[in-house]
Amino acid sequence: MFNSLSDRLTATFKNLRGKGRLTEADVDGTVREIRRALLDADVAVPVVREFTAAVKERALAETVSQSLNPGQQVVKIVNEELVTILGGETRRITMAKYGPTVIMLAGLQGAGKTTLAGKLAKHFKAQGHTPLLVACDLQRPNAVKQLQINGERAGVPVYAPHPGVSSEFEEATGDPVVVARNGVSEARQKQFDIVIVDTAGRLGVDTELMKQARDIRDAIKPQEVFFVIDAMIGQDAVNTALAFQEGVEFTGVVLSKLDGDARGGAALSVASVTGKPVMFASTGESLDDFEVFHPDRMASRILDMGDILTLIEQAERSWDKGEAERMAQKFVDREDFTLDDFLAQMQQIKKMGSLKKMLAMMPGAAISRQQLEQFDDRQMDRIEAMIRSMTPHERVAPKIINGSRRARIATGSGVSVSELNQMLERFGEAQKMMKKLAQGGGMPGMPGGARRPAKGAAKGGNKKKQQKFGNPAKAAQAAQEAANKKAQAPSGAAFGQGIPKDFDPSALNLPKGFDKFLGK
């Protein structure tokens, strides 16, 4: 979503690198480029003016001009101002003290309210809550059916006493206000602790839409009213948000379709203009493509600083602790890394979501933006098909995979032999790296990794350094003592201890006939 804005800002800051002191002309030029980047990203003009004025005022301060690295100081200022216009800090849901917490969704038709209702329900269920979905959109064709499908996918019940309309030629007959009121009563009786009310939208802001939304709000008295806005809406986002703020008085904003290729100005405008925080962000079609909106993390993404915290949270939610412990034990036991292990690790990564999105959260992702765009997440599916086309023995011992086996595996997985060869070659490199890590050698090419043996270790092994004496008499005495110790040492045992002559094997309670392996 913010790719173009991120690229423009990153290019602007490159001009500040290496400068020991910033002049007023440098600051003016930087602020001018920031202004152009924000306007190109469809950020509202009043927001751009306020933002650039704050950046310029702080950048011209004496503390910046006297700092050792003024370029980094300007980046820090821009980051802090971005956090401010995005809402300042993360805000959590206001929970009801008694009874269920009621959340009402409002917005234009097509903004993604019904899909968001399913995502919210799954999000709260994962946190241990018991949500209930209420279908109050009775005028959009099949809106009730869509909500029921989303509820089934999320594993959450749906209160839908009225089926709504099935085509645009039917006239809506149900009363959404009554459905909303009865839905909250149903949740209170059956002890659901969260109620998510999906309301109808319009193609544009009109009086009928606002009246219906206001009536539903007055009937159910929700703790939260979320204004759902399409992040691809552009400059019209501000006008729409102001209209809903006046008509419904929403408490928070939810950005949908953040995975689109639009310029994303809505996200930077709505929170600043309305004064209401962005609560959540929808980043895809799946019910799992949903995250809490953190202004500081979003600012870091825009400035290409990455979002490692969100990446860690996703890993903690989806990673199988049992599988992680199993792999850790394999490292301790120095067992070989097999194709079965490779497949298991790949499946763990797939649970976290799109690999392309995860790579985009890494710092400096803008440098390899073109390679990221060309990356195909389906490559992991092809690798999985190759491994599953192998026999159990081939997965454990891939060295036995000869030409005929490769042809069979490639045919079974629907790939070419060259693709299979490339996968096996990459796996061989991963296997070597894992073996190196298990031996404590570190990762090759990384600081502190691939430690070299000490001098003399390769030639002389672990031989003790012989002590030297300047006095010939002492040297002769030390040599004699060493010879006496060597003569007294027992021989014939691996650990330097011989078998006593009076040793009785029967005292060890060994299996019958085992004493013949002990020798005499």
- Do the annotations mark residue 211 as ligand-binding? no
Q: Do residues 120 and 131 make contact, with C-beta atoms less than 8 angstroms apart?
A: yes
111 assigned binding-site residue: yes
Tokens at 155, concatenated: 């594993």
Phi-psi bin for 164: left (phi > 0), alpha (psi -120 to 50), beta?
left
Give CA–CA dist 131/151, Å, rounded. 10
258 assigned binding-site residue: yes
**Is position 113 annotated in a ligand binding site?**
yes
Q: How many angstroms separate the CA atoms of 97 and 37, rounded?
A: 45
199 contacts 216 by C-beta, under 8 angstroms: yes
User: Which residues fall within 8 angstroms of residue 2, CB to CB, at 6 or more apart?
Assistant: 41, 263, 264, 267, 301, 302
Bridge-based pairing of strands 194-198 and 101-106 is parallel
Rg over CA atoms, the chain: 33
Please tell me whether 109 is known to bind a ligand. yes
Q: By C-alpha distance, which of 302, 310, 268 is closest to 2?
A: 302
Asked if 233 and 168 count as a contact pair (C-beta separation under 8 A), the reply is no
**Is 110 part of any known ligand binding site?**
yes
Rounded CA separation 288/290 (Å): 5
Cα–Cα distances (Å) from 500 to 344, 420, 515, 520, in that order, read 51, 59, 15, 10
The answer for residues whose C-beta is within 8 angstroms of residue 370's C-beta and 6 or more apart is none
86 is in an annotated binding site: no
CA dihedral 170, 174, 179, 182 (to 10 degrees): -150
The reply to whether 107 sits in an annotated binding site is yes
Query: Whose structure tokens read 């925080």?
Result: 277
Q: Is 252 assigned a ligand-binding role in the annotation? A: no
The number of CA neighbours under 13 Å toward the Cβ of 274 is 30
* Residue numbering of the annotated binding site for GTP: 107-114, 198-202, 256-259
* Residue numbering of the annotated binding site: 107-114, 198-202, 256-259
